[in-house]
Chain A
Amino acid sequence: MTTEQVLVTAAGLAGAAFVAWFFWFKRSEGVMASTVSDGYQEQMILVKGGYTPDTIRVAAGRPVRLLFRREETAACSEQVVLADFGKSAPLPMGAVVPVEFMPGEPGEHEFTCQMGMLRGRIIVEAA
């Protein structure tokens, strides 16, 4: 093996390992939804290439209102689905769309676009 080949092989393996780590081993702390006057736990979520923030922490047993605001034209994100709560909503560009649900037991739930390409997490914590 030439020096070049050794270097390329080493760099390639390192690159592959980095890709795996970067995409598969992410764990974000998440953002705690804030409680507003009507008793809802509310969080604004920006929809642009992904969900920002993509991890939302809420307390169990109190209603949650997620406000989605889509700021891109890509058709992929035009619908948000909270499969575990049986909720979904179309997201017209530029509009703020509320999605409300009641988190039950503590646990983790995903919210995604219809194709499952964009992903976010709702972490329900014991109140």
Chain B
Amino acid sequence: MTSTARTAATEHTGHVAGVRRPQTATVQTSTTPAGDRQAEYRALMRKWWFGAAVGAPTMILSYPWLIPGLRDIFPRGSEQLWWLWVGMGVASLAVIAYSGNQFFTGAWEALRHRSANMHTLIAIGTGTAWVYSTVALLFPQLFPSDAMTDVYYDVTVVVTALVVLGMAMEVKARGRTSEAIEKLIGLQPKTARVVRDGTELEVPVDQVVVGDIVVVRPGSKVPVDGIVIEGASALDESMITGESMPVAKTQGDEVIGATMNTTGSLRFRATKVGADTALATIVRMVGDAQASKVPIQRIVDVVSSYFTPAVVIASILGFVIWFDFGPAPAFTYATIVAVTTLIIACPCALGMATPMSLTTGVGLGASHGILIRSGDALQAAKKIDTIVLDKTGTITIGKPAVTDIVSAEGFEVDAILSMAAAAERDSEHPLAAAIVGGAAERGLTALSATRFEAVPGHGIRAWLGASRVLVGKRAFLEMNGIDASALEASAIRLADEGKTPVFIALDDRAAGILAIADPVKPDSAAAIAALRRLGLQVVMITGDNRRTADAIARQVGVDRVLAEVLPQDKANEVRKLQLEGRKVAMVGDGINDAPALAQSDVGFAIGTGTDVAIEASDVTLISGSLRGVVSAIEISRATMRNVYQNLFGAFVYNGLGLPIALGVLYPFIGLLLSPILAALAMSFSSVTVISNANRLKRFRLQEVSA
């Protein structure tokens, strides 16, 4: 573009080109969408009442000869009837100007963009009825017969009123679909108690900075995201994660802003504030997802871009056909048919069918701690038939722990655990942490070893005072001349359950076995059963050996196990399943499993805590429970079902309504629709679409009990 052309373009856009800095510009935001909608609703309702007040007498007085009593005062062709109709013409013009002006300004604005919308159709429809009536009234000599000089002011007024009422109901219902996101925004606490210069003070939440020490009192809200440094409490995180049970928090645990403290007190260090908090990210993600498009919408978009002008063309052609071939008075019939066609067409029902369901479905997910990233994810999640679950961290807790303790005769289970913990206290071995943690969890007093030696690949040898403790494989005990055959049966049983048996010996006697395993989450088996009830094939993927993997698989009841898969090969395994012709969902932790999540048709990142914006995932589950996957799939299916219902309804409505309005039934059963009935049908159809979408909010999720 040349510089002159650019200047011309800038001039063309006129006053709007002046603003340069969005930072200052956005500060002007004074209204909220909810506030806008309220004002819009009230304005539309005033317009409706005015239209209805004029409409009722207009309808009666349009046909006074049908009503006993009025028939004598206003006989057909009388001068007083003429004056009455002049009065109605003026009153209906007032209705057009007050109640219906948005149709005309909207149609004009659209026309300037060479586009057409619902306003165009209603404006032409009601305008035509008014102009026809006024010409018939003022210049009856233009019409060949008296029968053609009836007026249709009632059409103008009643159609305007009904469509305005429909719009008002639509505005109200649209507000309900976006309640979910407004509720999320409302969760944000206004103030925070922070420690500054040694004193605790209350500050507005937007003044909290990263690194601030934040105090959370009993019963108050956590203002921002952070890590607990002091205190212990349980937090109700249901508003963010969808988990109904309060979650215990102590030093080192992550807290999420907007969650509710119960009875304890906490101090935490703020790690994410302002637009970086989990809540702010959730609000942003939900907003983006609600505004995204379900793939099927792209087809609808193409249809709706041709729809409105096509209706105008249909209405013109309908007029011509009725004028040429219709019964007398042809001009009157042709006009009514053209007007009815314009009014019955409802581009709105078509346009709203998918976005309304999507908005409601995504909102429903968010209220259960499920963030559906886009309409594509929703449509894909509906189609999956296979679900791959990563074992570690998804089915299991993801941290090894002592699950069983077997004691030999003459030993106490607690004693075995404390001995082992004392021996392992300073060990680097991955299982050592589980043993030491297990002892701490049971509140056992820590013994300390006076000396210890690690025997790589075998175990550890430690001395507690004068006693020697051995912790390790069975072979390690035997190397030291200790007979562990009494524990053999237990060891085999534990190994079959997928657990790692660790033998303990005191001096020259085998004392017992500790079984270490990554425990299955309490609700995993129930969730997997629910997934199978949904008709999905459930596949578990793990790096574990076949025996451990099979043991876990038996516990939770999956259909298929992919064991001994190296982390880098997980994506490949997903691809193999896809090559079998399956639609595959992958559930994993979002970091190690990112390539597999990206490869799958739908990737679920699970248990992300405050880290909700996982790039590779299509669906983020804030809580760590597999139940979220079940809910997410149910919500996707319900939402897509709702989308199809709406689209079906909108297409059937327009597909049947338009031909009937055009009078295709007239030659057969003499049925011709009145424009007023058309207006009723049209308003009803768009309200139906939105109400159906709102019905989704009451969708009941399957109960998955642990």
Q: Point out residues on A near B: beta carbons under 8 Å.
A: 1, 5, 8-9, 12-13, 15-16, 19-20, 22-24, 26, 31-32, 34, 36, 42-46, 48-54, 57, 65, 67, 69, 72-76, 78-79, 81, 83, 86-90, 92-98, 112, 114-119
Give the chain B neighbours of A12 by CB distance below 8 A.
Answer: 316-317, 319-320, 323
Q: In the complex, which residue of chain B has the Cβ closest to the Cβ of A69?
A: B16
29 A/B residue pairs, CB under 8 Å, sorted by A: A5-B323, A9-B324, A12-B317, A20-B309, A22-B114, A23-B115, A23-B309, A31-B9, A34-B6, A34-B10, A36-B20, A42-B20, A44-B16, A45-B16, A49-B105, A49-B106, A49-B108, A53-B13, A67-B19, A73-B36, A74-B40, A75-B170, A75-B174, A79-B291, A81-B293, A94-B30, A96-B22, A97-B26, A115-B352
B306 contacts the other chain (CB 8 A): yes
B33 contacts the other chain (CB 8 A): yes
- A112–B9 CA distance with the chains assembled, in angstroms: 22
Q: How large is the interface on B (under 10, 10 to 19, 20 to 34, 35 or more residues)?
A: 35 or more
Q: Once the chains bind, are B316 and A19 in contact (CB under 8 Å)?
A: yes
B610 contacts the other chain (CB 8 A): no
Given A19-B312, A117-B304, A52:B5 Cβ within 8 A: no
Q: In the complex, which residue of chain B has the Cβ closest to the Cβ of A17?
A: B313
Interface string of B1-37 (1 = CB under 8 A from A): 1000110011011001111101001101111110011
Interface string of B95-113 (1 = CB under 8 A from A): 0000000100110111011
Chain B, interface SS category: helix
Give the chain B neighbours of A31 by CB distance below 8 A.
Answer: 9, 12-13
Q: In the complex, which residue of chain A has the Cβ closest to the Cβ of B7?
A: A34
Q: Told that A22-B114, A67-B22, A119-B115 touch, could you supply 18 new A-B pairs with CB distance under 8 A?
A: A12-B317, A26-B114, A44-B17, A49-B108, A50-B110, A52-B16, A74-B40, A74-B106, A75-B40, A75-B170, A86-B374, A95-B26, A96-B26, A96-B28, A116-B297, A116-B300, A116-B351, A118-B115
Cβ contact of B292, chosen from A26, A49, A83, A95, cutoff 8 A? A83
Give the Cβ gap from B278 to chain A, nearest Cβ, in Å: 20
Given A49-B112, A75-B171, A116-B351, A44:B317 Cβ within 8 A: no
Give the chain B neighbours of A26 by CB distance below 8 A.
Answer: 114
Q: Once the chains bind, are B292 and A74 in contact (CB under 8 Å)?
A: no
Cβ contact of A116, chosen from B13, B292, B301, cutoff 8 A? B301
Q: Once the chains bind, are A116 and B291 in contact (CB under 8 Å)?
A: no
| Candidate in A8, A52, A76 with the most chain B CB atoms within 10 angstroms | A76
Give the Cβ gap from A109 to chain B, nearest Cβ, in Å: 13
Give the Cβ gap from A105 to chain B, nearest Cβ, in Å: 19
- A125–B352 CA distance with the chains assembled, in angstroms: 32
B347 contacts the other chain (CB 8 A): yes
Given A12-B319, A23-B115, A115:B351 Cβ within 8 A: yes
Q: Once the chains bind, are B313 and A20 in contact (CB under 8 Å)?
A: yes
Give the Cβ gap from A12 to chain B, nearest Cβ, in Å: 4
Give the chain B neighbours of A20 by CB distance below 8 A.
Answer: 309, 313
Q: Once the chains bind, are B22 and A98 in contact (CB under 8 Å)?
A: yes
- A14–B293 CA distance with the chains assembled, in angstroms: 37
Cβ contact of B113, chosen from A15, A54, A93, cutoff 8 A? A54
Give the chain B neighbours of A78 by CB distance below 8 A.
Answer: 33, 36-37
B117 contacts the other chain (CB 8 A): yes
Interface string of B70-85 (1 = CB under 8 A from A): 0000000000000000
Given A9-B324, A115-B351, A53:B12 Cβ within 8 A: yes
Q: Once the chains bind, are B9 and A48 in contact (CB under 8 Å)?
A: no
Q: In the complex, which residue of chain A has the Cβ closest to the Cβ of B29?
A: A95
| Candidate in B102, B119, B351 with the most chain A CB atoms within 10 angstroms | B351
- A34–B17 CA distance with the chains assembled, in angstroms: 10
Q: Once the chains bind, are B19 and A44 in contact (CB under 8 Å)?
A: yes
Q: Once the chains bind, are A67 and B288 in contact (CB under 8 Å)?
A: no
Cβ contact of A50, chosen from B37, B113, B316, cutoff 8 A? B113
B257 contacts the other chain (CB 8 A): no
Q: Once the chains bind, are A92 and B33 in contact (CB under 8 Å)?
A: yes
Give the chain A neighbours of B170 by CB distance below 8 A.
Answer: 75
Give the Cβ gap from B173 to chain A, nearest Cβ, in Å: 11
Q: Once the chains bind, are B33 and A90 in contact (CB under 8 Å)?
A: yes
Give the chain B neighbours of A86 by CB distance below 8 A.
Answer: 288, 292, 374
- A34–B30 CA distance with the chains assembled, in angstroms: 28
| Candidate in B105, B292, B313 with the most chain A CB atoms within 10 angstroms | B313
- A97–B306 CA distance with the chains assembled, in angstroms: 29
